[in-house]
Structure 1
Amino acid sequence: MFTLAIVGRPNVGKSTLFNRLVGKRLALVDDQPGVTRDLREGQARLGDLKFTVIDTAGLEEATDDSLQGRMRRLTERAVEMADAALFVIDARVGVTPADQVFADILRRSGRPVLLAANKAEGRLGEAGMFEAYSLGLGDVIGLSAEHGEGMADLAQALRPHVEAHVETEEAEAEVEIDEDDMEADWAPTPKRPLKIAVVGRPNAGKSTLINRILGEDRLLTGPEAGITRDSISLAVDWDGTPTRIFDTAGMRKRAKITEKLEKLSVSDGLRAVKFAEVVVVLLDAAIPFEQQDLRIADLAAREGRAVVVAVNKWDLEEDRQAKLAGLKEAFDRLLPQLRGAPLITVSARTGRGLDRLHAAILRAHEVWNRRVPTATLNRWLTGMLEQHPPPAPQGRRIKLRYMTQAKTRPPGFVVMCSHPEAVPEAYTRYLVNGLREDFDMPGTPIRLHLRGQGDANPYKGRKRPQASRLRKHVEGRRKD
């Protein structure tokens, strides 16, 4: 599919235009410059044109290893990946010296370049539009990304590039049988990839880990905490598994979050957890299981997602055996609701442990989709009742009659019983722990619902047909 990279200085409206093209508020937008730092992809539609659009970080003149320099190199990579670039300037500001430098860089890239002047609505933008012709990039497209003006002109300028790309793809396309679609319903396919969200505190190494999985420096990384702001979604074939990975912003304690932008970043990460199927909670080996780590893991469990805990920076540990034993003890003690969930040690910097992380994620996803036959469940329930019958609060006997699995993703079970409101929470935990152990479902959230089934006689107050006919027959005999 044709790919368009939106580039330009910070705060010219690239993310607003990206959201306009994809029809969703995927990219964070704020008045302060430099909000976007990573590359974000989306499926855009402009009239009858369909293409992939990439939102990039604002181009800075820095070329060193500073944060701005790394952001610039990432944006230059996006231009290399794309089929064309849309260079956006601020019509109200006009052409700046930085715009002239970046226009020269884009000309030398060898990619087709379209020039757009954003914020061109009203008289304030007219002068900037005419000034943009001095950049030597051809016709200028006047836009207002915020109000949706100029989209028809943008579509007209894009059409020849998109159609030429589509014709090339059709000429090179070959008919192939997609064997992945023949897999079981739960198995990931290119059309329905396995969705993984990587979450954790700032500076735990989430972006570095995903770059290692991708095999390229796609996400911005560095020693500074809180580099990632958007929740970035990336598609990858991870050792034969079609996967979509969400990189999220680091989540700090709520009391420490004061800036509006950080609140938006955290809420974006929470939304990624809801979209995901497996959540990887990434810890720092130096300071694992802090209060915020526990809250993040508990959030993933409450959202009903399969959870894998990964301990990063393991290459820096010296006494690894003692450290690992302490981690497992703390995990079982602090997160009993995730008892049995995999705990994997990795090094995002060196790539060690990624094969074990991949296997643990697939295992967690399989358990998350598991279904147990009803007959097997009811035999199991009979054994659990014999081993430990339910209590009889206030002399009322609780009968658990029937059990079935109502759903998967995560596994959900329904037990038909009398007096469900009187079943103690401890007995519910007893059943959930039994399901987890006996049906090999470690770590995945299990939902158990008790549903009432009244003891009332359905024929109470109704005359039985046989008795009524017999009474009439007896009365008729008496009359005779």
Structure 2
Amino acid sequence: MDMPTVAIVGRPNVGKSTLFNRLVGKKLALVDDRPGVTRDRREGDVAFGGLIFRVIDTAGLEESDDDTLTGRMRMQTEAAILAADVVLFVIDARAGVLPADHSFAELTRRAGCPVILIANKAEGGAGISGAYEAFSLGLGDPIPFSAEHGEGLGELHNALIEALPKPDPDEEEDEDGPGGRSLRVAIVGRPNAGKSTLINNMLGEERLLVGPEAGITRDSISLDWEWRGRRIKLHDTAGMRRRARIDDKLEKLAVSDGLRAVRFAEVVVVLLDATIPFEKQDLTIVDLVESEGRSLVIGLNKWDLVADQPGLLKQLRENCTRLLPQVRGVSVVPLSGLAGEGIDKLMQAVVNAAEVWDRRVSTSKINDWLSEATSRNPPPAVSGRRIKIRYATQVKSRPPHFALFGNQLDALPKSYTRYLVNALREAFDLPGTPIRLSLRTSQNPFDKS
């Protein structure tokens, strides 16, 4: 089958070439803060988490006469759009949506191929309001992204899986073989938590090098496995330790590879040493997984060493609720990678976590919930005027992301947003998964006041 084509388009200087370089893994495209550096279409082959495609970097779209240089550059870009199987439409989230974005979005829509909207330069939450503005382009849910820092790659990968043409089964077997797409699971934790030992026991063979020394695993290793007929792609990663304690350059690269595995995973198992659980570094790793929006399971490894302590599991689960409120309800599974105990329970928790992460709730149910939640605990007043939340909807899943519309929502206290998130978890059975909540003070068709 011919390699599918993905075109990167957008206004000048929104970060198209940086995204191109990120996807091909090389600095093939010249990048500069000045707009208009890219003039010709540049192509590169991409192997991206099991996806194989050709990506085209295009000149920035500008409104110009056809016989001018910028006009000819625009025509080259239009030709790339027409030839593409998927278009990545890039906006600058910090600048927000500009009038030119709307006209070029219409041009892209007319091409008739799937479009993935990328709100670039949104690293660290910057430009999030611009990302929300991107809904107005009518190109679907925007992906908050940072081409420079690699944030949002997991979400882009998921969107490309859905958008790229599926291979013909007569010509090419599915990338993960018969039985459907593999569930991507990353095993992470501090050095010497027992990650490689656990995976060896899962596979039933000494596939990974293990030993008493911390830090044996240097690469993120990807392995195919099957559990109860479900295809699993396991990623063993290097142990993660505090940055200040990493002096060796090779280990820095290994930890970076582990972070990349987290971003591509659908479920992340954070493996703790049950003899010394919930160390500061464990909490930091869970924070990383939550901030990346991955579904989460906590494995208490080496449980055979502490299983004789009555009430310990209950106590550790209570500690988890207290120390990790951002993932309230996360599954905490005792196991022994060395003895092979608890693996079935761990994997059932992994499959359940993936289902919760992918869950969608109907808008009518969300608004019934909103009415009840705000009646039970009304939002506070600001300067004598009560904050009113009029409407809510789920804008995406993986992880569940809800948007609330109303007046003065920018003044809503964090304590109240925490109340809403916890109420969403309880009402729609969303334990453990990260939940995103967007507050939008703007006009909407359901606001009749």
Identify the residue that residue 195 of structure 2 maps to in structure 1.
Answer: 206
Q: Tell me: CA distance 1:256–1:374, structure 2 relative to 1, closer, same or farther (3 Å).
A: same
* Residue 408 of structure 2 corresponds to residue 419 of structure 1: yes
Q: Tell me: CA distance 1:189–1:196, structure 2 relative to 1, closer, same or farther (3 Å).
A: farther
Contact residue 200 and residue 282 of structure 1 kept, 8 A: yes
* CA offsets 1:28-60 (integer angstroms, 9 cap, x no match): xxxxxxxxxxxxxx9899xxxxxxxxxxxxxxx
Q: 1:326: how far off?
A: 2.2
* CA offsets 1:385-422 (integer angstroms, 9 cap, x no match): 11111001111221111111000000000111111211
Superposition pairs of residues 430-445 of structure 1, within 5 angstroms:
430-445=419-434
Partner amino acid, structure 2, of 1:401: R
* Residue 303 of structure 2 corresponds to residue 314 of structure 1: yes
Identify the residue that residue 226 of structure 1 maps to in structure 2.
Answer: 215
Partner amino acid, structure 2, of 1:339: R
Q: 1:318: how far off?
A: 4.4
Identify the residue that residue 312 of structure 2 maps to in structure 1.
Answer: 323
* CA offsets 1:2-44 (integer angstroms, 9 cap, x no match): xxxxxxxxxxxxxxxxxxxxx869xxxxxxxxxxxxxxxx989
Q: Tell me: CA distance 1:355–1:43, structure 2 relative to 1, closer, same or farther (3 Å).
A: closer
Superposition pairs of residues 130-141 of structure 1, within 5 angstroms:
none
Identify the residue that residue 248 of structure 1 maps to in structure 2.
Answer: 237
Partner amino acid, structure 2, of 1:413: F
Q: Tell me: CA distance 1:205–1:453, structure 2 relative to 1, closer, same or farther (3 Å).
A: same
Superposition pairs of residues 104-253 of structure 1, within 5 angstroms:
190=179, 192-253=181-242
Given the two structures, how large is their TM-score scaled by the length of structure 2? 0.60
Q: 1:254: how far off?
A: 1.4
* Residue 367 of structure 2 corresponds to residue 378 of structure 1: yes
RMSD between aligned residues: 2.9
Superposition pairs of residues 4-403 of structure 1, within 5 angstroms:
190=179, 192-403=181-392
Contact residue 192 and residue 239 of structure 2 kept, 8 A: yes
Contact residue 398 and residue 423 of structure 1 kept, 8 A: yes
- SS of the residue corresponding to residue 441 of structure 1 reads coil
Q: How many residues align?
A: 284
> Aligned partners of 2:395, 2:178: CA distance in 1, in Å?
25
Structure 2: 5+ residue runs without aligned partners?
1-23, 27-48, 53-168
Partner amino acid, structure 1, of 2:422: N
Partner amino acid, structure 2, of 1:424: P
> Aligned partners of 2:204, 2:369: CA distance in 1, in Å?
46
Contact residue 389 and residue 409 of structure 2 kept, 8 A: no
- SS of the residue corresponding to residue 309 of structure 1 reads strand
Given the two structures, how large is their TM-score scaled by the length of structure 1? 0.56
Structure number with larger C-alpha Rg: 1
Runs of 4+ off more than 2 Å = 42-45, 188-192, 318-322
> Aligned partners of 1:43, 1:356: CA distance in 2, in Å?
28
Partner amino acid, structure 2, of 1:383: E
Partner amino acid, structure 2, of 1:445: P
Contact residue 392 and residue 402 of structure 2 kept, 8 A: yes
Contact residue 185 and residue 269 of structure 2 kept, 8 A: yes
* CA offsets 1:73-108 (integer angstroms, 9 cap, x no match): xxxxxxxxxxxxxxxxxxxxxxxxxxxxxxxxxxxx
Partner amino acid, structure 1, of 2:181: R
> Aligned partners of 1:305, 1:43: CA distance in 2, in Å?
19
Partner amino acid, structure 2, of 1:408: S
Q: Tell me: CA distance 1:213–1:331, structure 2 relative to 1, closer, same or farther (3 Å).
A: same
Structure 1: 5+ residue runs without aligned partners?
1-22, 26-41, 46-173, 182-187, 459-480
Q: 1:330: how far off?
A: 1.3
Contact residue 189 and residue 242 of structure 1 kept, 8 A: no
